Amino acid sequence: MHSINYGTKELFFDLKQSKRKSLSIEVYPDNSIRVLAPLASSMEEIKKVILKKSRWIIRQQHYFEQFLPKTPEREYVSGETHYYLGRGYLLKIRPGQKNVIKLKGGCFHVEYCGYDAQKITKNLMAKWYYEHSEKKFFTIANEMFLKFKEFELDKPNIDIKRMAKRWGSCQKNGKIIINPEIIKAPTKCIEYVITHEMCHLVQFSHDKKFYTLLSEKMPNWEKWKNRLEQTLS
Ligand SMILES: [Zn+2]
pTM for this one?
Answer: 0.67
Contact 92, 78 (CB under 8 A): yes
Pick from 117, 5, 109: which is nearest to 57 by CA?
5
Give CA separation, 202 vs 191, 213, 217, in Å: 17, 9, 12
Q: How confident is the model at residue 31 (pLDDT cuts 50, 70, 90)?
A: confident
CA 52, CA 70: separation in Å to the nearest integer? 31
The structural domains of the chain, ordered by start, are: 2-65 (no CATH), 81-128 (no CATH), 134-231 (3.30.2010.10)
CA 190, CA 167: separation in Å to the nearest integer? 9
Write the pLDDT tens digit of every residue in 128-154. Answer: 998 999 999 999 999 999 999 999 999
Distance from the alpha carbon of residue 201 to the mean position of ligand 1, in angstroms:
10
Distance from the alpha carbon of residue 151 to the mean position of ligand 1, in angstroms:
18
Q: For position 70, what pLDDT does the model report?
A: 47
Element (H, E) at 44: helix 43-52
Residue 226 has pLDDT above 60, yes or no: yes
Q: How confident is the model at residue 59 (pLDDT cuts 50, 70, 90)?
A: confident
Distance from the alpha carbon of residue 211 to the mean position of ligand 1, in angstroms:
10
CA 45, CA 158: separation in Å to the nearest integer? 39
Distance from the alpha carbon of residue 213 to the mean position of ligand 1, in angstroms:
12
Contact 168, 177 (CB under 8 A): yes
Q: Is 112 left (phi over 0), alpha (psi -120 to 50) or beta?
A: beta
Residue 86 has pLDDT above 80, yes or no: yes
Distance from the alpha carbon of residue 173 to the mean position of ligand 1, in angstroms:
15
Distance from the alpha carbon of residue 130 to the mean position of ligand 1, in angstroms:
23
The mean per-residue pLDDT over the stretch 51-77 comes to 76
Q: How confident is the model at residue 7 (pLDDT cuts 50, 70, 90)?
A: confident
Distance from the alpha carbon of residue 34 to the mean position of ligand 1, in angstroms:
24
Write the pLDDT tens digit of every residue in 89-114. Answer: 999 999 999 999 999 999 999 999 99
Q: Where are the extended beta strands (E) located within 50-113?
A: 81-84, 87-95, 100-104, 107-112
Write the pLDDT tens digit of every residue in 158-217. Answer: 998 877 678 999 998 999 999 988 999 999 999 999 999 999 999 998 899 999 999 999
Longest dimension (CA), the chain: 58
Distance from the alpha carbon of residue 155 to the mean position of ligand 1, in angstroms:
18
Q: Which residues pair with 11 in a beta bridge?
A: 4
Element (H, E) at 5: strand 2-6
Pick from 153, 232, 160, 163: which is nearest to 200 by CA?
153
Distance from the alpha carbon of residue 55 to the mean position of ligand 1, in angstroms:
29
Q: For 178, phi and psi rounded to 5 degrees?
A: -120, 135
Q: For position 71, what pLDDT does the model report?
A: 43
Distance from the alpha carbon of residue 23 to the mean position of ligand 1, in angstroms:
28
Distance from the alpha carbon of residue 129 to the mean position of ligand 1, in angstroms:
24
